[in-house]
Amino acid sequence: MKTKKDVFAFWFYILIAALVVANSVWMMAGIEGPLGSRGARALRYFTVDSNILMGVAAVIAAVLRARKKSPLWLTALLLVSAASVMLTFLVVALFLSPLVPTGYFSLFRRYNFCFHFLIPVLGALAFIFFEDARHLRFRANILSLIPVGLYAIYYIVPIMLTAAPDGTVDRSRDWYYFFALGTKMLVPVVLIIGGLAFGISVALRALGKARAKASERRAARE
């Protein structure tokens, strides 16, 4: 017999997946905006990639939730996915939005409202309130570095290979403005983004464990 929590979690994950699909189609259909591109070019953004990862994880979670299954590997995948989209949110909110000439909130309009804010928040809430993080180990936090690490290779290597001798980079390749001051920003960028991704993962796991323990204590009193 499915509990109310199972049913609510199922529809919550369906909502996340639907938002990912709808907004991905919206962007790829040709409606461009800040940090947006038509067609497959949209996949060059970590925003889109991390949201798609969140959407895939949400679909798997919904299917398994309907079968009353919640394997540990799924909990780890949801942690990695939630950490990835929350990284997107924080980088946009703290770094990119203050820099764009179109105004701070321009990166939270149209499909970017969901990609940069709504889906990250829903993904984090889903992990904290629906998943049991008590059995996740430290290595799950390490796994959260894989998506950002793979994207870093894709993003940074072409920039470094095409940089001028004085460290100036091709702005058409640096769409996140990470190397606006040149290639000397390589180490700071890697350390800050990597540290932020890891810190988000640690925080989500800690919040998830605290919520699960609180629920267990409440159930014991009842």
What pLDDT is stored for residue 1 in this prediction? 42
CB-based contacts of 103, cutoff 8 Å, min separation 6: none
Predicted confidence (pLDDT) per residue in 72-107, tens digit: 999 999 999 999 999 999 999 999 899 888 889 988
Q: How many CB atoms lie within 10 A of CB 49?
A: 19
Report phi then psi at 94, rounded to 5.
Answer: -95, -25
Q: Look-up: residue for tokens 């793979």? A: 150
Residue-range domain boundaries for the chain: 4-221
Contact 8, 49 (CB under 8 A): no
- Which tokens belong to 42? 């949209």
Please report how many Cα atoms fall inside a 13 Å half-sphere around the Cα of residue 29, on the Cβ side. 8
How far apart are alpha carbons 92 and 85 in whole angstroms?
11
Predicted confidence (pLDDT) per residue in 71-80, tens digit: 999 999 999 9
Predicted confidence (pLDDT) per residue in 50-77, tens digit: 999 999 999 999 999 888 888 999 999 9
